[in-house]
Amino acid sequence: MKALILAGGSGTRLWPLSRSDYPKQFLKLDGKESFLQKTVKRNLRLVDSKDLYIITGSGYYLDVAGQIKEIDSSLIDNIILEPEKKNTAPAIALAARFILEKGGDDLLFISPADHLISPLEQFVQVVEAAKQIAAEGTLVTFGVRPHAPETGYGYIHVAETPKELKGTPVIQFIEKPSKESAMAYLEEGSYFWNAGMFLFSMRLFFEELKIHAKEINKVAEGTFEAIVHRFHQMPDISIDYAMMEKSKKVRMISLDLNWSDVGSWDNVYDMLPKDGAGNATLGEVEVFETRNSLILGTSKRLIATIGVENLLVIETGDVILISKKEESQNVKTVVAALTKQGRREVDEHITTHRPWGSFTILGEGNRYKMKKIVVFPLHKLSLQMHYHRSEHWVVVTGTACVTIGEKVRTVHEGESIFVPKSAIHRVENPGKVPLEIIEVQVGEYLGEDDIVRLDDAYGRTEEVIAAH
């Protein structure tokens, strides 16, 4: 069996913590492992690393590679890049063709990168049972028995009550329902949450594409390289709509364990430990006469609450979201409105992660921008230049090796250096501790696209849109 992780989602349901440039799958809510890393480790219980693949967008490649390298660097060779975002059906077709060309018509297990599942031993048992069902020539989907009338999940309607570790015929796939419908589904007993996971043979997958998704199949019949070049012709459609709800060969297996797609702040509240008053807190938080609330801060700013209940407070340094806890599904409404306004906060954090470290915007105004730059030990930024700005660097912690033109200089803590406009320059950290620099940019244009990379250790010399 091969396993495929879908890691291309832009994940705005946990906004403002999750944003388009750094979506949910990369977040480490427990401070230890990201959702992606948990998913990789979970899949490595099912297959060897050589049989585990990850598909993502090109804009997320460095984030994916950086996180999976912490687990097994060989996995980097199994990253598949979508030419553009086209939903799950085209992504799976592209990945399946890539995997087939690497050898063998194996079963393929597909799972999203940003779900939580436990206990893992039981998860493995269910997938092993699903393999047996798929080997009989069926498309297996995974359903979770609902314990609440959730409106944030899709549902699967099955023909009969599932028997333990057995496949059940599927009647219908249902999109996120109204509250009234969700309550009826909960009482009826034959409706399950759609876990977004699938298991089938790749041969059967392409046979069913030919029957039910002709527009996708027309592109997917070619080689992997041919699909990449024609990927723009693919429709933007999920695998549920494109094939699963049309095929007569679909069976559902019940995933009777702890599962969450962590698709709302209510889900985050449920997964975190609570105090005696039912409050879940992270960060610099003090609560007084506060009950059943989620208070989460990611900066060093102190958050204090008095006399509130059932409240959601999320602070990220540049955004504060305050809501009734039960309204958390409506975060998407806020994101949609801010997107129409062209607000930076929809896509970008004030802290941006790079393969060499990170930078944080501390302040900006007319003709200036101030950042804190952190460079990992033994890492370096690209050799670069800017047409419209000069830069002043002050080393706060560590030692910097700075190249400006033909000259190389060592800059120690408390020392500064000036980089003129249009000068070719680079900074690197030769030390064993993180290098921290305060950068002040001055110029008529300070956009992150004013950069020309001449040499880059991370293969970004053709990019001109990302900072440093």
Tell me the mean pLDDT in the region 90-116.
91
**DSSP structure class, residue 229:** H
pLDDT over threshold 90, residue 30 = no
More confident residue, 2 or 163: 2
pLDDT in tens, 426-449: 999 999 999 999 999 999 999 888
pLDDT in tens, 274-296: 999 999 999 999 999 999 999 99
pLDDT given for residue 151 in this prediction: 82
pLDDT given for residue 463 in this prediction: 41
pTM (2 d.p.): 0.86
Residue 461 binned pLDDT confidence (cut-offs 50, 70, 90): low
pLDDT given for residue 467 in this prediction: 35
pLDDT in tens, 54-87: 999 988 998 999 899 999 999 999 999 999 888 9
pLDDT in tens, 203-219: 999 999 999 998 999 99
Report CA 314 to chain centroid distance, whole Å.
Answer: 19
Report CA 369 to chain centroid distance, whole Å.
Answer: 28
Sequence letter at residue 238: S
Q: Which domains does the chain have, with CATH numbers?
A: 2-260 (3.90.550.10), 265-330 (no CATH), 351-455 (2.60.120.10)
pLDDT given for residue 41 in this prediction: 97
pLDDT over threshold 70, residue 457 = yes
Torsion angle of alpha carbons 381, 384, 387, 393, nearest 10°? 40
Where do the DSSP E strands lie in 145-271? 155-158, 168-174, 191-201, 250-254, 258-260
Residue 177 binned pLDDT confidence (cut-offs 50, 70, 90): confident
Tell me the mean pLDDT in the region 412-435.
96
**Cβ partners under 8 Å of residue 395, min gap 6:** 411, 412, 413, 414, 415, 416, 435, 436, 437
